[in-house]
Every structure is written in C-alpha cells, then in structure tokens.
Chain A
Amino acid sequence: MRVGLLITCLADLMRPSIGLAALKLLERAGCDVVVPSTQTCCGQPGYNSGDRPAAQALARKLISEFSDCDYVVVPSGSCSGMIKTHYVELLSELPEARAKAEWLAARTWELTDFLANVVRLDAIDVRFDGTVTYHDSCAGLREMGVKNQPRELLAKVSGLSIREMHDSEQCCGFGGTFAIKYGDISVRLADLKCDEVAKCKADALVLGDLGCMLNIEGRLRRRGDNRTKVLHVAEVLAGMTGEEVE
C-alpha cells in the first residue's frame, strides 16, 4: 500500500514534529510511505483569498506529485479538505486537471480517519500521562467528517484520559488570512476557545490542525497560560510530545 504523505506547508515550516509523527504512525502501521520531496503547499491560501490561478497552479503541482500513490494522507483536516472537497471545483474549468482531481480526491484522507478506518489501527503502543481535551477543527469536522476517529485513537493511548470541553465544535477564529485581516475578531474567538480550555482543566489541548493550534496556543500563552500543552493528535499518538524534534 503506497501512501503519499502530504506534510502541509505550515507543519513543514512551523512544526516538523507533526510530519515526523505522521510518518512514524504510517510506517508502524505497515504502510509504504512516500514523501514527495518537491511538495510545498496545497494552494488553499490562494484559493481562499480569491486568487484562483495561483491556487490552480499549486493544485496541479500537488496532483502530479502524488499521482502514483494509492492514498494521500494529510495530518490536517484543512489541507485534506482542500483536496477532497475543493480541488474538483477549483479545477472545474480545466477538464483534464479536473478528472485528475477527482481521482486524487477519492484517495485523500485525513490522518486520524485513515488510521482509524483504513489501516484500522487497533493497538497504540505509547503512553501519555494526563488528561486531554480535543478541539474539533472546522474543516476536519465539517468537510472531512472527523469527529470520533481521533477520540477513538486517543482512547487507546495508555495513561491518557479524555475530558470533553464545552462547545468543542465552535470555530477558534483562525480562518487562515482571516487571523491577520480581522485580528480583533479572530482574537475574540480564540479567547472564547481558551476560556473553554481553561474551564476544562485538561493537561493538554489536542487537535488535528496546525493553523488552529498556533492560534489557540498563541492566545493561551499571551493570556499567561504556560501550563496547558497544545499538541497535534499525531504527536500524541506517536509519543512525540517532547519539545525537541530530533
């Protein structure tokens, strides 16, 4: 089973441990993982900023990079959602590219969904001592149907217990460029999320999208919370929750 791993531009630059964790999880599950070395970005920033040609160019690049994979797995609901639910529309006026987009969309999975439903991971051999709460990032939840998958997987981690926060499905206010175009509104939404995290008193907030992680963690730290860890679900599942990546 040839699995292409899309790291996402954000994780590549900001938090490589997410990519390393995803790689480890997939390899342990017995996948033959390929990481196309020329991959950069799925094109979502351009797409959501109204620059369709820019997004099309990057989408076509990505499609060709992963064209020999049985699956494309992405440790992000947002970027997998981009491919799975938007590429076909994005390339709709280019019939050939559109057909390829359909092909790729059918093979694209969000990481936890893939682990839970394709490779059906049944044992996870790591420990995490503490309570975690899970934030449902918008695209993962509403585009990719990611809801129980990460929770099921986290429940298999020994020492870990899940405590649900109130309104876990409420948007954290990241929204890509929204966060820097409408900073005040974005911070307000992040603040409300931080309130819920604080009320929940978990040791770690776990989620599946780095954009939301940066937003919520950034606000938590600014509010003076240096205690609550903010972790990507892949990092927890792979037992890579330490600060050092290498």
Chain B
Amino acid sequence: MEITSAHFKKVAGQKLADKKVQEALARAKGKFVVARAKAIEELDNFEEIRRAAADVRDHCLANLDQYLEQWEDNATAAGTIVHWVESAEEMNRTLLDIATGNNVRKVIKSKSMLGEETGVNEYLERGGIDVRETDLGEYIIQQAKEYPSHIIAPATHKSKDDIATLFAERHQRPRLDDIAQLTHEAREILRPHFLDADMGITGANFLVAETGSTMIVTNEGNGRMTTTLPRIHVAIASIEKCIPTLEDLSLLMRLLARSATGQSISNYLSVTTGPRRDGDSDGPEQFHVILVDIGRTRVLGSELRPALRCIRCGACMNHCPVYQNIGGHAYGWVYPGPIGSVLTPAYVGLEKAVDLPNAATFCNQCSVACPVKIPLPDLMRKLREKQTELKLAPAGQRVAMRVWAWLASRPTLYAWATKLAARVGKIAGGRQGLVHRLPLVGAEWTRGRDLPAPRGKTFREIYAARKRS
C-alpha cells in the first residue's frame, strides 16, 4: 500500500473539519469503548489474563525460530504447502504464481491487513485475476476504492448513507436505506462469487505450532466460506503470529474479541489444518501458507520488539483520543492509531512517517487498554529518540531542547531568565491575566486558546524572599 503518512498534519486537519467523518467517529467511539468496558467487566481476572497473554506472546517471540520450525513440520505433515518469503513483492509474486499455475481466474478474499500491506489485490488484478473482498467492511472499501481506516472495522469512517449511495451506484439497483437490507444485498451480490471462485485468500490471526494450523476469526462467516469452498486456499501470515499451543490460543481468544468489539467471542473461529482429507465433506484440494517476514525479524531484533506482541484487536486506536478525533486515514498506512504510530515507522521507515510517533499526547489510554500490554507510548518515545539521533526531528525543536537543557542545568542563570519571563508574562497577560497571542512556536498555542499568564514572580523568588524575612 502506498504510504502517505508524510501528510499526517494536513489530512488530520481535513478530518477534523469533515462533519461526516466526525459523526462516524463519534458513533464508533461510543460503540467500541463502551462495549469493551462491559465485556471486560464480565471477567473477574482480566488483569491476570492480560499478564498471562503478554507473557505468552513474549515467550513466542523469544523462541520464534523454534516455534516456526515446529509449526512448519506439523503443517507439512498435514499436507500444507509452506512458502517462506521476505518481501512484499515476493509475497505477491508467490500468490500470483500459485494462481496462474492453477488456472485461477477468480479469487475471494477474507480480510487481511497483511494483504493491505503488500497491496495484494491490485497486484493480482494487474496479473489478470478477479479479486473479491468478502468481509462486508472490506467489500465496501473495495467498491469505494478506498483504504481501511480501522483494522477491525475498515469502513468505520463511512456512514450508512454513504454506503447506500455507493451500493446503488455500484450494484445498479434501487437505493436502500436499511442496514439489514444493504447487508442482504451485498450478500446476494457476493454469493455467486463464493461459488465460482477458484481460490480463497485469508490472513491468519494465529499460527498454532503444536498442530501446524492457521486460525482466523470473523463475524460474518465469509472467512469460513473462503477457507472451504474454493479448490485452493492460501493463507498469508506474518511470522510473529506463531504461538505454541491451542491452550495459548484459547487464552488469547478470551481477550481478542472482548478487546476488539466487546463480544465474549467472535461469531466464527476457524482453525485450518492441511487441505481436505479423504472423507472430509469439504475443504480445498490445496492448502498453501505463505509465511511472511516484511520487516518482522528486523523489529524482533530491535527495542521495538514488544510491538510484535500485537494481536490486532484495535483497542488502542479505539481508546486513543487522537484517533477518536481524526480517524485512521491521516496515519497514512495500513495500521492507524497508536500501534500504527509504532509499526508504520518500523516497517516502512521512520523518515517516511516522522509525524506519527509525535502525534500522541502520551495519555497512555492505549497501553492501558491493550490486551497484551504493549507499552505503546514508550515505544513511540524510542522512535522519537531515534528521530533526534538521525536528525529527523525538526531542527527548531532539537535546538530548543538543547537550549532548555543547557539553561535548566544552570540554576542561577535559569532563575534570572524565569524571573524575567514571569514579569514579561504578567505584563503580556494584562488585567485579565490572559495572553491572547504568542509569537513563534507559541502561536500554535494561541491560535485556539488563551494562555493563562504568569503572575509576575516565580515561586523560588517568593520563597527566597520569605526565607530572608
């Protein structure tokens, strides 16, 4: 996917001013945050489960090589064809090769963020293959030729009205305005594609090492049909998704849907182990799994490793005050919100996403919500440090920090400077004690706010005078 994170500020500004987007975001916030809070309350040991889940994910990552090998052995034994790829281009090519090698003309796809990373739909389409998204949200996005704005609710930025108009236009049918009817229409349109597709592509929420399985969760059942109806099923999975056992899977499943949508469990949970066996009533003739790196091993060896614990629930963005107000598109790549502010720089390059680690208040609402306790603000801070090191941070800011530190290390000089500032500030504040207009960087403050003015003397000045008297 093309990366547009460099325009973060501009797009964020547009989204803040876009009434429709604002309405959609307000709806989503109410829905996700409230639902999650309720679901969490039902568990009396949520914190314990979170701790255990974080530990399991850490353990997987620390022994990833070993679990991946175990996974591959078991998968191969079950008849799965395993491909290892390093880059996005390689993944797309492998998929196209599988498709063309098997005379595939039509592909149905269930939601995969990894697929978004590599732009797999466009790639296959350029290769002459018809690709149909089957997750309702992804289907809407595909019809609108847009990008997802949320990892579990890709079309959350669109209103019911937007979708009604879109469907009427794309489906060439009378406009509907009832959600159930719209869903029904999409289903009707998609059904024949399910039946005549040659290949199904899914992502994988997890890979289970002890059984060599891939696993996906969906709410619409489209994933189940994608894995079982076409004669070929290909799962694309990034390597960090590997976990040791089914027991671990059940632990993580206690958190995933609760954190994501507030459901105690998703409607569907499909575990796939190998292709159709003799006597199976359905399933594909061939089952391929493409194991993908694209930056994961690099992150594994870096101080950002905890980000790989992510189970893609979306809670961090749902709870992020910045995301709640600008939505996902401003972040400019596949993963928005706090996790995106870490993964985007990590996967596509810090220099292409300079704003992202900075566009956060460090309120910590994300990491408190994260089911696997990823310290997202700390990771963003690491990236800020990297930016300073690489001189990617704005020069003005770097100089200002240096000057500040220099001054604050010299108490006498600092005392004089602050005395002066307190006096000037008091004058600038006038009778009301409010500064309406600041120069330079301060202008960004006073564009939408006043600044309560200093009171004329610093604390230390007053304190010293008292001590003397």
Interface residues of A (CB under 8 A from B): 7, 9, 11-20, 23, 35, 37-41, 43, 45-55, 57-58, 61, 89, 138-139, 142-143, 170-171, 173-192, 213-215, 217-219, 221-222, 226, 230, 243, 245-246
Contact = CB atoms under 8 A, between A and B. Distances in A.
Contact of B408 (A16, A58, A181): A58
B196 to A, nearest CB: 47
B454 A13 contact: yes
Given A12-B418, A40-B409, 9 more contacts: A14-B452, A16-B457, A49-B393, A55-B405, A142-B365, A171-B361, A176-B362, A182-B9, A183-B445
Interface residues of B, number: 66
Interface in B389-408: 389, 393, 397-398, 401-402, 404-405, 407-408
B345 to A, nearest CB: 12
A7 B39 CA distance: 41
Nearest to B414: A40
24 contacts: A7-B460, A12-B459, A13-B458, A14-B452, A20-B463, A37-B460, A40-B407, A48-B384, A49-B384, A49-B388, A51-B401, A52-B385, A55-B405, A142-B364, A142-B365, A175-B360, A176-B362, A178-B361, A183-B445, A185-B12, A188-B325, A218-B445, A219-B450, A245-B457
B405 A179 contact: no
A142 B363 CA distance: 8
A46 B409 contact: no
Interface string B409-420: 101001000100
A14 B429 CA distance: 11
B164 interface: no
Given A48-B384, A138-B365, A218-B449, A16 B462 contact: yes
Nearest to A189: B321
B245 to A, nearest CB: 33
B326 interface: yes
Q: Which of A11, A48, A176, A214 neighbours the largest number of chain B CB atoms within 10 Å of its CB?
A: A48
Contacts of B180: none
Nearest to B454: A14
B430 interface: no
Contacts of B451: 214, 218
Contacts of A173: 321, 361
Contacts of B16: 184-185, 188
A45 B403 CA distance: 12
A188 B12 CA distance: 11
B361 A175 contact: yes
B26 to A, nearest CB: 10
Contact of A171 (B12, B365, B408, B449): B365
B467 to A, nearest CB: 9
A7 B411 CA distance: 14
A106 B28 CA distance: 41
B402 A51 contact: yes
Nearest to B463: A35
A219 B446 CA distance: 9
B385 A46 contact: no
A48 to B, nearest CB: 6
Q: Which of B321, B359, B421 neighbours the largest number of chain A CB atoms within 10 Å of its CB?
A: B321
Nearest to B365: A171
B363 A50 contact: no
B421 A187 contact: no
A48 B358 CA distance: 9
B12 A12 contact: no
Contact of B448 (A11, A14, A49, A187): A187
A182 B393 contact: no
B381 interface: yes
Given A37-B464, A51-B398, A13 B421 contact: yes
A146 to B, nearest CB: 13
Nearest to B392: A50
Contact of B444 (A12, A183, A221, A230): A183
B191 interface: no
B248 interface: no
Contacts of B127: none
What are the 4 A-B residue pairs with the smallest beta carbon separation, nearest first?
Answer: A175-B361, A50-B384, A54-B405, A187-B448
A187 B321 CA distance: 12
A16 B454 CA distance: 8
Contact of A178 (B360, B386, B389, B462): B360
Contacts of B439: none
A61 B409 CA distance: 8
A46 B358 contact: no
Contact of A19 (B384, B401, B405, B463): B463
Contacts of A50: 381, 383-389, 393
B405 to A, nearest CB: 3
B128 interface: no
A49 B397 contact: yes
B330 to A, nearest CB: 9
Contacts of B404: 41, 45-46, 54
A11 to B, nearest CB: 6
Interface string B8-34: 010011001000000000000000000
Nearest to A58: B408
B277 interface: no
A16 B419 CA distance: 12
A37 B462 contact: no
Contacts of A184: 12-13, 16, 447-448
A40 B362 contact: no
Given A180-B442, A185-B322, A185-B325, A143 B460 contact: no
Contacts of A138: 361-365
A187 B449 contact: yes
Given A49-B397, A174-B361, A16 B411 contact: no
B434 interface: yes
A178 B422 CA distance: 23
B449 A189 contact: no
Contacts of A189: 321-322, 325, 361
A17 B361 contact: no
A185 to B, nearest CB: 6
B171 interface: no
B378 interface: yes
Nearest to B440: A180
Contacts of B389: 50
